[in-house]
Each structure stands twice: as C-alpha cells, then as structure tokens.
Amino acid sequence: MKADAYSTQLADACRFLHRYGRFLVVSHVNPDGDAIGSTLAVGEILRVMGKQAILVNEGAIHSKFSILAGSDRILNYTELGKEAIPPFDAVIAVDCADYYRIGAVATCFPENVPLLNIDHHPTNDGYGETALLKPDAAATAEVLYDLVQELGIEPSTELAQCIYAGLMTDTGGFRYSSTTPKVMAIASEMLAKGVNGNELAEELLEKLTYPQILLLQRALSSLTFSADRRIAWMIVTEEDIAAAGARNEDMEGLVNYPRNIEGVEVGLLFKQTRQGELKVSFRSAGKVDVSQVAKHFGGGGHILASGCSVTGELDAVIGQIVREVELALP
C-alpha cells in the first residue's frame, strides 16, 4: 500500500473515533495474542479519548491472557448473549481478516451500524464503513501503534503492554520474517514505557498447559508426510480434545511442529469439529504462499500462516488440501 493511501486511512480512522461516543470492540473467533492485545489496546485508546468501550469476543479467552491489563473486561458473548451488551453507536473490528471471522457477536450489530475495520491480513477485503489496513504490517498491533501516533496519544504502560504483546506473538517472539527494523523500534519503545518483555514471553509463548501437552502427544502420533517429505500434517479429533481435557485454544502452536521439521515446506493441522467440518491451519517455511491455498478453499490469512474450513470426509479433505499444496510448491 502506498504511504499516502495509508496516511489517508489513518486520518479517516481518527475521524471515525472522534465521531462516536460508545463503541463495541470485537476481534476474531479463537483469538490469538494479536487479537487480544489489539482489542485491549483499542479499549485503552478509547478510554484516553474519553469514549466508552465494550469489549466482546464470541467465546472465552485463554487464561494465559490474564497477564494483560484489562483482559477481564472482554465479555464472553457465547455465555452472556446480546442482552448483556449495552447500547453502542459504532463497531471496531480488529485483526479480523474477513467479516465472518467476527463470529456470533456480529448478530447483535444493528443494520448498517458504522464499522471501523483495523487489520493487517493481506486477504482482508476492506469491509466496513471505514478500513485501516496495512498488509505489510507484522501485526494489527503495529497498525494500532501508527494510529496512536496519529492521534497524538502518549502510550501508557498498559497500552504499551498490549501493543508489545500483539507484536511479540504475531512475529513468533520476533523470529519471523515480518520482524522489521520498525517492529523492533516499536518494541524497544514499548519496553521503555515499562513493559516486562521477559514476563510476557514466558506466559504467552513458552508456558504450556497440561492439556496442551497431552494434545500434542496425541497429535504427534498422527504425523504424516507426503512422498517427498516437503509437506507434513497432523490430525486432532474431537476424541483427542476430550481425552486431553483440552479446549480450542490449547491447539495454538501445534501446526508449527510439522512445519519446523527439516525439509518440510508446508505444515498442516487438521482439526475435526462437531459440525462435521474440518478446520485446516497452514504454515509455510517461506517458499509457498499458503494464503492463496487457503483462499482456494474459502479461507485466507497471511503468506506464511493461513487457515480455512472445509466440509467433507477426513481422508478426502486431506487429499484435496495436500494436492493443492503440492501444486503450490516451487
């Protein structure tokens, strides 16, 4: 995106924030660190601006995010329902590659509600009345840093923590190719604001729950390779999740295990759902744009990390996905 176009989007986003008084802030289903950090960051931005913010997600958030200040403000829509949502004037969606990723929360939006779409996914189609999109940003948290600068807000320690958490988690602890000099400069600035980077890394990246370990053990037993061993995948069934006493969020990071194997270009994780649907996570080692493969199946995401949902028999779906990945291999 050209700098002048992005500058225009930043100005439009600022006007959107100034225009309304009560906001509903949402992220995507099964939120990761960037989604949660960005949700809380927007809540803090609105607080500083003297606005009201209601933070909502479709389901419960992982307990590890309790380390982030204000995480207890995020309402669980699945548990509370629309009756628990106070009136609001406008919606801000963060880190949602498409409108449907908002999930069930969107059912409480009034028709034609003003919506500000803030995101960094290349597959985002620009939904909403106003869109602030930067496909080359490492995380939505990076876009929010730019918005904070545009608004002239001095980041508090709480806001800095949220931005740092989003950057850290979406760059894999500042290890992925998206870790640019700008990302490191922002991270350094946030640390100077009082963020405890070591503590955040320990809680959000390193620590594993007991159910996660049990789930990993079961998933690894399903590890399979393509004939040339350039594609590897694992399967997680409903039975696996039940036996491990795990939740959806306990699957975070599992797909990295097949991808990290020497010689593997694309790692895949297939998760069976109760609805007979298969959720597929893609991770690329760098040579394959998995967002295009996911898009072929109605999904999307990033060049190196994407996902989709496919209905069908497990073996048939695996065959379809693997064949499409094979076609994308250089």
Express each pLDDT in 64-86 by its tens digit.
999 999 999 999 999 988 888 99
Residue 294 confidence (pLDDT): 95
Helix axes 33-48, 140-151, angle to 10 degrees: 10
CA distances from 152 to 20, 45, 147, 182, 191 (A): 18, 11, 9, 18, 19
- Cα dist from 22 to 139, 175, 267, whole Å: 25, 38, 42
Could you tell me the pLDDT band of residue 184, with boundaries at 50, 70 and 90? very high
Q: Is 52 left (phi over 0), alpha (psi -120 to 50) or beta?
A: beta
Pick the residue with more confidence: 209 or 162? 162
- Is a pLDDT exceeding 90 seen at residue 195? yes
Side-chain-side CA neighbours of 319 within 13 Å: the count stands at: 5
pLDDT at 171: 95
Six-digit token string for 2: 């050209």
Does residue 282 have a pLDDT over 90? yes
Q: Are residues 205 and 168 in contact, defined by beta-carbon separation less than 8 angstroms? A: yes
Query: Please, are residues 136 and 171 in contact by the beta-carbon 8 Å criterion?
Result: no
Q: Which of 10-14, 196-200, 298-302 has the lowest mean pLDDT?
A: 298-302
Q: Kindly state the helix (H) or strand (E) to which residue 22 belongs, with its residue range.
A: strand 22-26
Does residue 300 surpass a pLDDT of 90? no
Helix/strand/coil (H/E/C) assignment for every residue in 28-83: CCCCCHHHHHHHHHHHHHHHHCCCEEEEEECCCCCHHHHHCCCHHHCEEHHHHCHH
Q: What is the pLDDT of residue 196?
A: 97
Per-residue pLDDT, averaged over 25-44, amounts to 96
Whole-number pLDDT of residue 82: 87
pLDDT average, residue stretch 126-133: 97
Which pLDDT band holds residue 19 (cuts at 50, 70, 90)? very high
Rg over CA atoms, the chain? 19
> In the chain, how long is the greatest CA-to-CA distance?
59
First to last CA, the chain: 27
Pairing between β-strand 224-225 and β-strand 231-236 as defined by DSSP bridges? antiparallel
**Whether the predicted pLDDT of 242 surpasses 90:** yes
Q: What is the pLDDT of residue 109?
A: 96
Is the pLDDT reported for residue 123 higher than 90? no
CA torsion through residues 184, 186, 191, 197, sign: negative
Amino acid 1: pLDDT: 62
CB 163 within 8 A of CB 41: yes
Spatial neighbors of 255 by CB under 8 A, at least 6 apart, are: 234, 267, 268, 269, 281, 282, 283
Determine the Cα angle at 40 with ends 35 and 41, to 5°: 95
- Across the chain, mean pLDDT equals 95
- The torsion region of residue 38 among left (phi > 0), alpha (psi -120 to 50) and beta comes to alpha
Domains contained in the chain, CATH given: 3-153 (3.90.1640.10), 210-328 (3.10.310.30)
Q: Pairing relation of β-strands 305-311 and 115-119?
A: unpaired
pLDDT at residue number 275: 67
* Confidence check: pLDDT of 277 > 90: no
What CA–CA distance (Å, rounded) separates 24 from 184?
Answer: 31
Q: What's the confidence (pLDDT) of residue 110?
A: 95
5, amino acid identity: A
The closest alpha carbon to 55, from 29, 73, 33, belongs to 73
Question: Rounded to two decimals, what is the model's pTM?
Answer: 0.89
Q: What is the pLDDT of residue 286?
A: 92
